[in-house]
Chains A and B, each alone.
Chain A
Amino acid sequence: MHSLNFWKITYILLITFFGILLVLQKSVDIYWDQTYHKLSPFHVDNKKFKLIQKNTDYSYEKLEAAKEKIYQWNQIVQNEINQKLFAQKRVRQNNSRDLSSQNQADKKLLKPVEVDAEKKKNNSTQSAVQSTQHQILELAEQIKSAYMNLWQKKQDYFSDKIIIRPDETVFFAGDSLMQGVAPHAMRILHKSYHVNSLDLSKQSTGLSYPKAFDWPAEIETILNNDDSIKVLAVFLGPNDPWNFLIHGNKNYSKFKSKEWEDEYSSRIERILIAAKNHFVKVIWLGVPCMKKRKLDQDMIYLNSIYQSEVEKLNQRYLSTADLFRCENGFSDTILIDEIQNKVRTRDGIHFEANGQKMVADLILQQLIFKG
């Protein structure tokens, strides 16, 4: 049994602290980037240390692969349950569909099997053939409906309006501003219009620090994997007005400089092009006025970039300044129906529940609900 004195404890504290900083280079760099917009003082330009986290990334991937196997087994169980939950729904759908043409096709395929009396004796082959036929029919069904959906999606995309139908998905992306707004919109979308939502908004994110969170890459991945997404709503900005390091450069690019602006615009463009490739309409919200003067000026600057990029690709840019009566300067309360409503929180950035609902309503007003 050992005991610790002051010097041993100091040794433990110091070695642990600096040891952690050394092996978690990647995490510390990201944190310092986001908080102080400078290179971390604990940064070590030694590839070996960077490899430690990279290697764990690699072994983490292997762990993920093993987890996948467990999830797959679990998916089977879950699918069973979901199928039972949807059994009744399918019955209803089947009844309303016009089966006449399909019934004829069924009969044509089944005929040869029924007519051949000898094969009737061998029950196992018969049922195997029948089940294969049913599978082929189901597959044909799925391909047909997928094609119909894509065709519908394209039609809707090329119209001026933002059309959304039941069982389609609205994708909410952004920072803590969107985190507050999305739940209100999602609730109404689900309750009143049976429209699904995907809310991936995350606090402290933006477009400036892809190492911390890469919105363009994330949006590309999500759109690749989910065909039901019809509309993308984006709301971010307050975490972005800082110098950042462009990949390949040695020094941080200064905020508002030409290279900063070009890089930032290209990230916005990347999101818009990803949406375009999947026939997804974009609603991009401008940031309203802020209490702090510098932040307010910075947001006006970012809004101008958002607006020009978004309108270049014919998508919808929405200003929220009018909503919050910003023409009179920043105010955390606004007068609605003769009552003063507190709409902004004490930090002068985020919204109170009332404010969040107002922005959610603004988004919903852009959508035309069909079907």
Chain B
Amino acid sequence: MSYLSIEFSLFFIALFFIYWGLRSSVRLQNLLLLVVSYFIVGLLNINFAYLLFGYTLINFGFAKAIVRSESKKKLVCICAMIFSVINLAIFKYFDFFRGELQAIFHTIGIEFYLPTAELLLPIGISFYTFHCISYLVSLYKKEMELVSFWDFALFLSFFPSIIAGPINRAKNFIPQLESSCTIMFANAQEKKVILERKILEPYKAFTLILLAIIKVYWLSSAIEQFCVNPIFNNPMEYHTLDLLLGIYAYAIQIYLNFSGYTDLVTGIALLLGFRLPINFNLPYLAYNLRDFWHRWHISLSTWIRDYLYFPLGGSRCGVIRAQINVFIAMLLSGLWHGAGLNFIVWGGLHGLGMIFLNLSDYCLGSWRLHLKCSFIAKLFTFHFICLTWIFFRSDSLHESFDFIDALFTNYHFIKLQFNSLIWIALLFILFVTYQFWSKIPSYFTICLTKIHWFFIPFIFILILFFVVDFAPSGIPLFIYGGF
């Protein structure tokens, strides 16, 4: 069930009530969360739940082996990585490569039919695989101790993060699952303290949930239905200005959809006493591509940096090797999103952009565009990112090129079908004043704290009423839930 539905809301309220009723025992709370998480996964497809459980068992075995043997731990860790990657690759990319391989075999002349395995993409596999890898590496580096099987299972299946992230690091998340900890005093005495969870920042949680509903249910859905889908479905029919509006609209849609989802699960997690990592920080105000990746899907980009870029050598092996590493990391980032040439091209474009940025920084010495004129730098960066979104959104590489072709040639004899000039002008004003608008949610939170609790639901009802009434009908999908 979608987290933005009546059914889930009812379910969550019941969960909230029972969960905090069990406040005295963190263990029982964890158990409840585990059951609920598996229930949500299993509701979609019972096989996904079995798969997740099997994956958990196998990796728990790997974890134990890493901790147990000092000499063989590197080998075990590598085996575990390979297992996880192959597991992910089979479910995600088998159908894609099956088609490509079959075509290759056919051209060579070999009559070879690979079976069309009925492989549904298990929900959350991209995310729990990454969660798991962060845990195993932390164990290897002795940053963490082994945890109980049930805590580990909860870490992998935690329902707010399993559908579409944010990608949790074991180091930061697992301590939040602990039911007790041992305090060491200066006189070498130890005391075991029973931990109790508490609701974190409820005002902020409510703000985040409201914001999520506005962003996903209303704005992102409306932009998609009225602007993005018509334009991207048939780019050849639209004027250049309409196409440009379509690109800007998609950039806004994907940001609202994804950051809205992150806000929703962050708010839910706060109400359950957990802190999730930040995923976004005003990404379209980035002054260059590197800055963008510090602001967009932060949990993924830091994961790729720590578990892919650094192990490959990072920037320690010279400039050229560093660029190769960056390119591989970006390419795999693209591939992670889905099996499709358009995702690979998207990643590749970001890789090339990063390489260009690195090399130009190297050549320009201490001169930086964003220091001289940050507005031009931001505008330029935003447009580069919009260009890459064309590939991300189009259904195939061929359509991406159609779109770009139309963008540069459709400026005569085609009627404007959207009030594009006005909208683009408004978007420009929005871009310039964005810092101001971004402060509204925190301002709202502060205002909430000043209102007496009795009246708060009525404010929420008023806001939600207008949002739902104006929004297009139907429950919107989370774009990143499909990755």
Contacts and interface: CB of A to CB of B under 8 A. Distances in A.
Interface string B5-18: 01001100100110
A342 B474 contact: no
B251 interface: no
Given A182-B233, A187-B234, A340-B116, A19 B413 contact: no
Q: Classify chain A's interface size.
A: 35 or more
Contacts of A82: 415-416
A368 B116 CA distance: 38
B237 interface: yes
Interface in B424-472: 449-453, 456-458, 460-461, 464-466, 468-469
Contacts of A293: none
B236 A187 contact: yes
Contacts of A15: 457-458, 461
Nearest to A56: B469
Contacts of A203: 474
Given A13-B16, A339-B106, A342-B99, A27 B237 contact: no
A197 interface: yes
Interface string B36-48: 0000000000000
A199 to B, nearest CB: 7
A154 interface: no
A333 interface: yes
A190 interface: yes
A166 to B, nearest CB: 13
B237 A186 contact: yes
A158 interface: no
Interface in A194-222: 196-197, 199, 203-204, 212-213
Given A21-B6, A204-B474, A339-B102, A16 B460 contact: yes
Contacts of B473: 27, 30, 212-213
A346 B236 CA distance: 30
B465 A8 contact: no
B310 interface: no
B461 A74 contact: no
Interface in A144-202: 182-183, 186-187, 190-191, 196-197, 199
Nearest to A14: B13
A308 interface: no
Contact of B120 (A8, A56, A89, A346): A346
B413 A31 contact: no
A2 B449 contact: yes
Choose among B106, B395, B453 the residue with the greatest number of A CB atoms under 10 Å from its CB: B453
Contacts, number: 125
A24 B469 contact: yes
A332 B237 contact: no
B415 A85 contact: yes
A16 B113 CA distance: 56
B202 A85 contact: no
B457 A16 contact: yes
A353 B271 CA distance: 42
A313 interface: no
B6 A183 contact: no
Given A82-B415, A212-B473, A340 B102 contact: yes
Contacts of A14: 13
Given A2-B452, A13-B13, A17-B9, A353 B395 contact: yes
A166 B452 CA distance: 65
Contact of B465 (A6, A20, A191, A212): A20
Given A86-B413, A339-B106, A346-B118, A190 B474 contact: no
Interface string A1-27: 111101011111111110111011001
A78 interface: yes
A246 interface: no
Interface in B1-60: 6, 9-10, 13, 16-17, 20, 23
Interface of B: 6, 9-10, 13, 16-17, 20, 23, 95, 99, 102-103, 106, 113, 116, 118, 120, 199, 202-203, 206, 230, 233-234, 236-237, 271, 395-396, 412-416, 419, 421-422, 449-453, 456-458, 460-461, 464-466, 468-469, 473-474
Interface of A: 1-4, 6, 8-17, 19-21, 23-24, 27-28, 30-31, 53, 56, 60, 71, 74, 77-78, 81-82, 85-86, 88-89, 182-183, 186-187, 190-191, 196-197, 199, 203-204, 212-213, 332-333, 339-340, 342, 346, 353
5 contacts: A4-B453, A19-B461, A27-B473, A186-B237, A333-B116
A-B CB proximity, top 5 nearest: A15-B457, A183-B233, A19-B461, A16-B457, A4-B202
Given A4-B199, A9-B16, A12-B460, 9 more contacts: A1-B449, A16-B457, A27-B473, A30-B473, A53-B469, A56-B465, A77-B422, A85-B414, A86-B413
